[in-house]
Structure 1
Amino acid sequence: MKSILLKAFFFFLIVSPIQAQELLPFVENYNKSNYQGDNQIWNVVQGNDNAMYFANNHYLLRYDGVIWEKYTLPNKTIIRSIMVDGDKIYSGSYKEFGYWYRKEGKMHYVSMTKNLHLFDEKDNEEIWKIFKFNDAIYFQSFNDVFIYKGKKVKKIKFPFLISYCFVVDNSLYVASVDKGVFKMEDAKIANPKGWNVLKNCVVHAIEKHQKKTYIFTQKKGVFIVGKNNLIPWSNPLNETLKKTTINVAKFINSNKLVIGTGNKGVYIIDLNTNLYKNIDRNNVLMNNSILSIGVDKENDLWLGLDNGIAHVEVNSPIAIFYDNTGVLGSVYSVAPTKNGYLIASNHGVFEYGSGKFSMIPNTQGQAWNITEINNQYIIGHNDGTFVYNNGLFSKINAINGGWNLSKSSINNTYFQSNYSGILVYDDATKLKENKTIKNLSKPIKYVAQNKKNELWAADNYRGLYRVLYNDEYQTRKVENITQQSKIKNDFGVKIFEFRNEILFLINNAWYTYNSLTNKLEENELFNDNFKNISDVVAIDESHFIVLQNGILYHIYANGNKFVWNIIQEKYYKGKLINDNLRIFREKNNYLLNLDDGFISLQLKNANKQNLKLKIEAFSDQNLVNNDDKIKFNSELKIHVVSGIYGAQKPNLFYKLDKTKEFVSIKEGLIVLNNLSNGFHSITIYKHNGANYDKVSSFEFNVAQPWYFSFWMILLYLLFVGAIFFFYYKWNKLRYLQKLKLQKEELKHQKEILEMELKAENELNIQEYEKHILELELQTKSSEVAGKSLSIAKQSEMIENIQRILDSEKDFNKLKSEIKKAIKINEVNKHEWEIFETNLNQIHNEFIINLSKKFPNLTPKDIKLCVYLKMNLSSKEIAPMMNISFRGVELHRYRLRKKLNLSQEENLPKFLLTI
């Protein structure tokens, strides 16, 4: 990266005067780490493509404001000189000269000496200077001059050692090392009359300015050509130059002379005032040896150093005052005086004038603000308020921290905001007389007034107050307007007076006060024109400065239209003091405080810059033209070349395709990665702070990724075809397997069906066997019933026998025998129990269902129900239940009631349904 070194002063003691330089032009230094080349820069030129070219020992350097390029000769020799002619860059080296041209984003070399045998083998000739004269191009070494004209090369050999050749008007002068300067006409040379003083003297430059010819010698200073002799330059600087070793000199800007020395850097002399500035290693430059001087189209200097390159913006509206020692500290305010400058910093108050720089005694500490009133300077300080008048410094009050001093817009009253409130100065001629706004004990940063007995005060931290007071400055009312307006983020409120109107910048939005609603309302004009503003500083009724996204812009108000002029960030990057920007007007210049110094700038009222951009895009180090195609997933570097290196360098942004976001272009380079395939467009915009104006565009096409190429698509089709083929085969195999499975399934189904039929047959057999068993059961039941009937009849027979026997009383013996026989034939108890058990087993399901349905039935009732289900008569049942016939009938009657049967319902049939 390029290092921006802005060194202006060396300080030794705080309280004693120290030497200082005038304000210096802004300088950008480039070292080997920037351009990756060698030390010495022998020659500097600007090409017709606006790029800067440098002869840098083994390299030809090219810098277009975006990137550095370096090239070597085919024979790797040292390049001593270069010159521009049209689109060609001529270069001279050891026994070699030729030209370079640019094609496809790269420089290409063509040798003009190949196969010509122009150099003697015994000579160690190097081409130290190339110039054009009478439509011919001259290549000068220390012994010879080679003249190229009409594709032919003519060699002229001199009888002495040459230092340099110079073209003045229509004459060519040859400076020898020890024999003086000769005027050359064709191949003849002669010493001009009266120039003998130049013998044994090395001449490093002959320049003509305002009809005067100046001769710059290495150690004898500067001479001016008179009628018949040479006259030493009368400027007092001439004696100093004799001790510095003049290496190169050039007139620029019609009134400036630039002299590069071997040990004291560069001198820039204003010929109108005879004032000069010396830029060397003590302030800005990287070293003191100046080998070459180049001038670009902006009339700024490019210095070729013994070790590096310096870009000096001598034609810039910017001048720099910078302290790199830390003695001065952060500058909070600066004001011009008759004798120089008055500077307020966090270290104290400093006075600069006549080359002397010193701290004013007893002013150590934080100094905030300098305001000029009636040719005297009011200084707000941490220890109170001071006044500076014609070199005299005095204290007018001891109230701490005078941040700002502002004048009322309705009268000549001044208000000073400080750590504890507001001071009032009714009479600017009597500054020691002041009053305090009572009942307002707050740290107030800004104050403004445009209405009698009303003040606007911004707290140092947060809040905006409307202060109403009477003629004795007694506070009648204090209102927090930001709270009343329900503005939550009211930190760091800034008050801005514009054309007798007071505006408030709060959280990047602009407000004005509505006296009817007693609230703040957004200001449409300023919110439309000034967005993302973090700070604003008034200069006068038509000029002010705003800070937008870290960039300063000077605003010229023309009616309700605003002209924006960018102040390039490189002049103050990292050096602005947040919330403490101040501007002091010095005639046509404006002084802006910085963290370690200040800058002086000239502000314009118009922005009429016509910008032409050149776009060079590279992918894989190959030039990409407009509408070209680049590889997918490759990096694209786009160089946006403005050809402007100084103060007029534009603030550029770009948009990719149809995105809404504007992206800042840093150092002219756009790097794009991970682009999707297809067409893309880059649109370049110039941003003046208010508007984005389209200035150029670039379109390109990103190729399809390799996996979408023709052969890959063909491969994909083959692959898909193979997939379909194998899928068909696989599907066919599956179909055959499915048929096989279906066949096997049918076989299994048949087997299952056969098994089911077999099972069904077995079930039918079981059912049949069950039916047989049921028949057998019924048979047994019939047998049981028969047996029961037999038993009943037997019992009846026995009963009849007993009755007969009872009636035959005369046959006692017979009676006894018959009774004995009857007892023998009587059914025993065990057989009866077996009978009942069998009967219950046969009718078990019936008994269970009957018991569930009629749980109130007794065992005797259930036994009767079983006999009835067997369709036995009461007469048959009576002996089985060991009751009489009538008892059976009575039991049946009771059973019908328990079963809830009507008279019409048949009891046995009912029991069969259970």
Structure 2
Amino acid sequence: MKARITVLILLYFFSFQLYSQELLPFVENYSKSNYQGDNQIWNLAQGNDNAMYFANNYYLLRYDGVKWEKYTLPNKTIIRSIMVDGDKIYSGSYKEFGYWYRKNGKMFYVSISDKTKVFDENDNEEIWKIFKFKGKIYFQSFNGIFLYDGKIIKKNKFDFLVSYCFPVGNELFVATVEKGIFKMNNSTFEKVKGWDILENNVIHAIEKFQNKTYIFTKKNGVYVDDKGVLSPWKNPLNDILKMANINVAKFIKNNKLIIGTASKGVYVFDLNTNSYKNINRNNVLMNNSILSVGLDKENDLWLGLDNGIAHIEVNSPISIFYDNSGVLGSVYSVATIDKGYLMASNHGIFKLEDNQFTIVPNTEGQAWNISKINNKYLIGHNEGTFVYDSGLFYKLSAVHGGWNVAKSNINNSYLQATYSGVIIYNDIEDLNQKKSIKGLVKPIKYVAQNRKNEIWAADNNRGLYRILYNDAYGTTAIENVTQRSKISNDFGVKIFEFRNEILFLINKSWYTYNSISNQLEENELFNTNFKNVSNIVSIDENYFLILQEGLLYHIYANGNKFVRTVIQEKYYKGKIINDNLKVFKNKDKYLLNLDDGFISLQLKYTNKRESNVKMEAFVNDNLVNNKATIPYNSELRVDVISGAFGAARPNLFYKINGTKEYIPVNEGLIVLNNLNSGSNEITVYLHDGLNYDKISNFQFFVAKPWYFSIWMILLYFVVVGGILYLYYKWNKMRYLQKLELRDEELKHQKKILEIELKTENELNLQEYEKHILELELQSKSSEVAGKSLSIAKQGEMIENIQSILDSDVDFNKLKSEIKKVIKINAVNKHEWETFETNLNQIHNEFIINLSKKYPHLTSKDIKLCIYLKMNLSSKEIAPLINISFRGVELHRYRLRKKLNLVQEENLSKFLLTI
């Protein structure tokens, strides 16, 4: 509570201050960081090339609206004065004067005084003023004057200390410091009669206006000579000027008087209304000391400051209200009232009447919108809705947040979008008669109506709603149309009424509602003409404003064609309040809110057609002429110079090599990189809002890359020829080497052939011997097999006889005989040893592999393995190893265990794999 009271006290304190705040012409400030020069601007003028020239201490500055240039005198002295005559820019300095001319995109200096040797060694002259009078150029110092007729210089010394000379019509006045004002006639000086009161005054300007002569003194204000009678200027401003120290004064177009002071900025006095505006550091200027004044061809004002330059559009249809105090805050809506303006800001509701700026009591806080209904003003506020009627304020409603108000297209009612839904005002004479739409308790930002009992409402966050209600204002249906139309990105929906049709801007696309399909459908007309629009504001039936890609356009709807006028970005750059752009129409002007005030523009202001646009192209700061050739892979900078600095600056676009797209010329500069070699053309067009008119073009050629130049191509031929020659020599050398190598190779081949034949014979012999061995091995194998079968049969016979004998006990004699026979037929020891030796030779590799794989096998096991590999049965094997059949079976069983064989595996097949 205490904090709120403190805020109120502060706001009341500010409200009672006499700010003298008012709408001012638009001002552009240029500091040293812009032109990279010195502080003081002693003199300025516009050249015939439309560029502005400035005497800036050690520099001559040139500004063509696109770029700044600076130049110094050969002797590096301070430039005090400049004057334009034809294509020459005359300048004056310490013991030096001459002229500048422009060639190939640069300024060059020619000294006049140095050639004629007009200054003596003892002279201490500094040229403070240059002017043209009766066909001659005058260079004036405080001690003398130099007349130049284009060939010779005539020097005149003053007998008194002079402030300045002033050509007025056919008269040349010389203002002295102590003795008053004289007229100069050839080389003689005659004191002006009746002006004795001006003695001991420093005169800084003498101007003639409407048959009256105005004399501007430094400290004693302004005097007026009316039909030979000199008297102080009878205007309240004169007393202010006496305290401000006049530095310069000038009458300009539209009956305006410009007075630059040393301490209080510049005064723009309107003789039509007998009123003035003071532009100073408290509002827009960088400092209050005005050293020089000049006009451009648009009759706009240029000021040379003690530190910087100011461009003031005094004849522009655009005015700005600034508030540098911070009391106002960001303006969300503005409207005109009888004696001034009403503003809704984030700090409250403010009035600007008779140049006095005050806050409306009890309206502190966020104010959103001001809508004029008949002679009343409906003001949406965070705390509710206020009404301003005939100078009185009162609170109408406590419903928080009145964002926007829209007039119904079916009757005289008004709809208000608030934090908690929609309010309808049916009786504009009695605003207390209002209805709230039930069932929709949402923060509604935009609202519209073009059918009975139907309201469209856009949520502040997301969603578009169609509200249906009966005659008793009972809600019958609330439909989320974007959700039903399956539009997923429905954040920040905007509603725009155009010729009784309601359009919806959703995610930068335009939609209308189809009542038959109950769906949103894209609007072809607006989607074709207004792509990438982020905001739109209606002005009246045929006019509206759009914000597209950061630029504001004033649109005039002529049938189904739209005439565009771009509002130059400099008037609002960085000051637009996103999603809260509002326009208030006042006769032929409209007001646009900004984050530190508002701007006033003429409604029907359009771009003027200009045909004198010229183009200057530079590569590495060197001028490139039309149809010239530039190096490959170089940056081309093209300055598109219109000669207009103010509101009349044309809306320019360009094309490169006839492409379809029109590209805006931003700040008069076109920069091109990575250009293809060959012919190129830049064409500049003036856009009048409907058509693009060709006004200038520039042709140039991009050279081939250095590696495709004639000399490089010749070098390529030389290099390729050298490579081919070396390749030929190398091939020839290789051919000779190949011949030598072939001879050597034939000799070696002959030797190799002999060796191969010898080796082949030896191999054949070895093969023969091997074959013999194989035959012997086969023979032994057959012998072993036969022996094996024989031994097996003998063993079987012996076993049978032995069994008979063992069973027949009675025939002892026969038994004895049979035993003898058996012994006779038994295999002798030598024959058995031979059998075993052949067996081992035949299966030697098998025995080696088996022994490596299973080193724990005994010789008996190995012998059994050999017999099994020979596919002999247990019955056949028994006599070979001299054991019984069951013994062989038992031996086989033990062998399987040693070989780790499972029951399903066949022992003979397993041995065949080894």
Normalised-by-shorter TM-score class? 0.7 to 0.9
Which residue matches 1:471?
471
- The 1:758/1:369 distance shift into structure 2, 3 A limit, reads same
Pairs within 5 Å for 1:307-706: 307-604=307-604, 606-657=606-657, 663-686=663-686, 693-706=693-706
Alpha-carbon distance, 1:765 to partner = 4.1
| Corresponding residue SS for 2:490 | coil
Alpha-carbon distance, 1:656 to partner = 4.0
The range that moved more, 192-201 or 276-285, is 192-201
| Corresponding residue SS for 1:667 | helix
Q: Is the 8 A contact 2:11 2:359 kept in 1?
A: no
Residue deviations 1:392-423 (CA, integer Å, cap 9, x gap): 21111111111111111221111111011111
Which residue matches 2:258?
258
Alpha-carbon distance, 1:64 to partner = 0.9
- Name the amino acid aligned to 1:358: T
Which residue matches 1:236?
236
Q: Is the 8 A contact 2:330 2:596 kept in 1?
A: yes
Determine if the alignment matches structure 1 residue 28 to structure 2 residue 28: yes
Which residue matches 2:206?
206
Pairs within 5 Å for 1:22-421: 22-421=22-421
CA RMSD of aligned residues (A): 3.5
Q: Is the 8 A contact 2:610 2:650 kept in 1?
A: no
The whole-number CA distance in structure 2 between the counterparts of 1:41 and 1:108 is 20
Which residue matches 1:793?
none
The whole-number CA distance in structure 2 between the counterparts of 1:365 and 1:403 is 14
Residue deviations 1:533-561 (CA, integer Å, cap 9, x gap): 11111111122111111111111223333
Equivalent residues, number: 813
Which residue matches 1:814?
none
The whole-number CA distance in structure 1 between the counterparts of 2:779 and 2:25 is 141
Alpha-carbon distance, 1:71 to partner = 1.2
The whole-number CA distance in structure 2 between the counterparts of 1:780 and 1:241 is 146
- The 1:222/1:754 distance shift into structure 2, 3 A limit, reads same
The whole-number CA distance in structure 1 between the counterparts of 2:775 and 2:341 is 142
Q: Is the 8 A contact 1:89 1:100 kept in 2?
A: yes
The whole-number CA distance in structure 1 between the counterparts of 2:742 and 2:691 is 80
Residue deviations 1:738-773 (CA, integer Å, cap 9, x gap): 344444444444334323322333345456667989
Q: Is the 8 A contact 1:382 1:400 kept in 2?
A: yes
Q: Is the 8 A contact 1:563 1:605 kept in 2?
A: no
Residue deviations 1:660-707 (CA, integer Å, cap 9, x gap): 665554432333444444333333344567765544332323333334
Which residue matches 1:830?
828
- The 1:45/1:227 distance shift into structure 2, 3 A limit, reads same
| Corresponding residue SS for 1:79 | coil
Q: Is the 8 A contact 2:780 2:838 kept in 1?
A: no
Alpha-carbon distance, 1:310 to partner = 0.8
The whole-number CA distance in structure 2 between the counterparts of 1:559 and 1:486 is 32
The whole-number CA distance in structure 2 between the counterparts of 1:771 and 1:442 is 110
Which residue matches 2:759?
759
Q: Is the 8 A contact 1:565 1:607 kept in 2?
A: yes
| Structure 1: tracts of 5 or more residues without a match | 1-9, 782-818, 846-850, 861-914
- Name the amino acid aligned to 1:28: E
Alpha-carbon distance, 1:219 to partner = 2.2
- Name the amino acid aligned to 1:348: G
Q: Is the 8 A contact 1:193 1:229 kept in 2?
A: no
Q: Is the 8 A contact 1:685 1:695 kept in 2?
A: yes
The whole-number CA distance in structure 2 between the counterparts of 1:497 and 1:453 is 17
- Name the amino acid aligned to 2:500: N
| Corresponding residue SS for 1:248 | strand
- Name the amino acid aligned to 1:399: V
The whole-number CA distance in structure 2 between the counterparts of 1:775 and 1:178 is 152
Q: Is the 8 A contact 1:444 1:460 kept in 2?
A: yes
Pairs within 5 Å for 1:734-753: 734-753=734-753
Alpha-carbon distance, 1:616 to partner = 1.6
Q: Is the 8 A contact 1:553 1:566 kept in 2?
A: yes
| Corresponding residue SS for 2:371 | strand
Q: Is the 8 A contact 1:91 1:97 kept in 2?
A: yes
Normalised by the size of structure 2, how large is the TM-score?
0.82
Alpha-carbon distance, 1:256 to partner = 0.7
Which residue matches 2:814?
none
Pairs within 5 Å for 1:722-871: 722-766=722-766, 830=828, 833=831
Residue deviations 1:165-223 (CA, integer Å, cap 9, x gap): 22222222222222222222333332233222222222221212223222222222222
- The 1:578/1:768 distance shift into structure 2, 3 A limit, reads closer
The whole-number CA distance in structure 1 between the counterparts of 2:726 and 2:274 is 95
| Corresponding residue SS for 1:534 | strand
| Corresponding residue SS for 1:19 | coil
Residue deviations 1:131-177 (CA, integer Å, cap 9, x gap): 22222222222232222225222223332222222222222222222
Q: Is the 8 A contact 2:607 2:650 kept in 1?
A: no
Residue deviations 1:439-485 (CA, integer Å, cap 9, x gap): 12221111111221111111111222221111111111222222233
Larger radius of gyration: 1
- Name the amino acid aligned to 1:261: T
- The 1:416/1:832 distance shift into structure 2, 3 A limit, reads closer
- The 1:714/1:427 distance shift into structure 2, 3 A limit, reads same
Residue deviations 1:230-268 (CA, integer Å, cap 9, x gap): 132222211221222211111112311101111111100
Q: Is the 8 A contact 2:81 2:128 kept in 1?
A: yes
Q: Is the 8 A contact 1:407 1:415 kept in 2?
A: yes
- The 1:190/1:735 distance shift into structure 2, 3 A limit, reads same
Alpha-carbon distance, 1:339 to partner = 2.7
Q: Is the 8 A contact 1:21 1:277 kept in 2?
A: no
- Name the amino acid aligned to 1:553: Y
- The 1:640/1:11 distance shift into structure 2, 3 A limit, reads farther
The whole-number CA distance in structure 1 between the counterparts of 2:831 and 2:544 is 133
Q: Is the 8 A contact 1:677 1:702 kept in 2?
A: yes
| Corresponding residue SS for 2:731 | helix
Normalised by the size of structure 1, how large is the TM-score?
0.82
The range that moved more, 525-534 or 326-335, is 525-534
Q: Is the 8 A contact 2:417 2:445 kept in 1?
A: yes
- Name the amino acid aligned to 1:299: N
The whole-number CA distance in structure 2 between the counterparts of 1:345 and 1:775 is 122
The whole-number CA distance in structure 1 between the counterparts of 2:780 and 2:241 is 157
Q: Is the 8 A contact 2:607 2:651 kept in 1?
A: no
The whole-number CA distance in structure 2 between the counterparts of 1:234 and 1:780 is 155
Which residue matches 1:718?
718
| Corresponding residue SS for 2:828 | helix
Sequence identity of aligned pairs in percent? 67
